Structure 1
Amino acid sequence: MTAAPVILLVDDSRVSRMLCGAIVRERRPDAILVEAGNGDEALSCIATLVPHLAVLDVNMPGMNGLELAERIRNDHPDMRIALLTANVQDSVRQRAAALNAAFFAKPINDTVVGRILDLLELHP
């Protein structure tokens, strides 16, 4: 990818966003990071600046990450979506696959975030 990638981090945990963001900044200093604490904030961000990659937590108050992924997929079918969650139930994994969203289990660490960032290199 030649242009600076725009990455949206959506998690109700500020600590999780900070940790993930720090790893992204280290690995992809060229990236433009946008953060949201819930699904509604994420949709507002996307209305302003469409990201190349959205990294979503599943368990959030209000709109959960799967609902958000479905909304994003309907409006932006080629956007890369990664679910980064502690909710590792088979039903969550299956729903992620149905939405063409990559699934990654927490905890957040350099290896997991690196694998998420590899999604930027895939062609839509």
Structure 2
Amino acid sequence: MATSSQSSVEPGSNEVKDYICNACEDQNNVVTSADFYCKQCERLYCGNCIDPHGKALAKHTTFGRIEIDKWPVSKKVVDFLQICDVHKDHKIDQFCNLHKQLCCPQCVSDQHRYVLFSC
């Protein structure tokens, strides 16, 4: 998984912002939505930054938003999806077969003590 692919997650927010342009972030510390992913660079680019990239590295394979299924899933998104909705400081790591529900350790302690399977 590419470490440079990132989505921004606002602290204390349930909102996951879309992928951000790595070049804008590196050069100007600006959050700009990415429109392209370069497979060789493992980096994301907005519409303005993809042109210089394409001129300098013409043989690289880039994927636009229409092919977003070829973009890597960012670690921040994966981490965000693993956080318990009820207990924000815990990760989901178990499944309650009785309630058919994913659980964090605190959920287990509070409500799902008897019928659990670890993920």
Q: TM-score range by the shorter chain?
A: under 0.3
Q: Per residue, is there more helix in 1 or in 2?
A: 1
Structure (1 or 2) with the larger CA radius of gyration: 2
Report the TM-score, using the length of structure 1 for normalisation.
0.26
Higher relative contact order (CA 8 A, sep 6+): 1
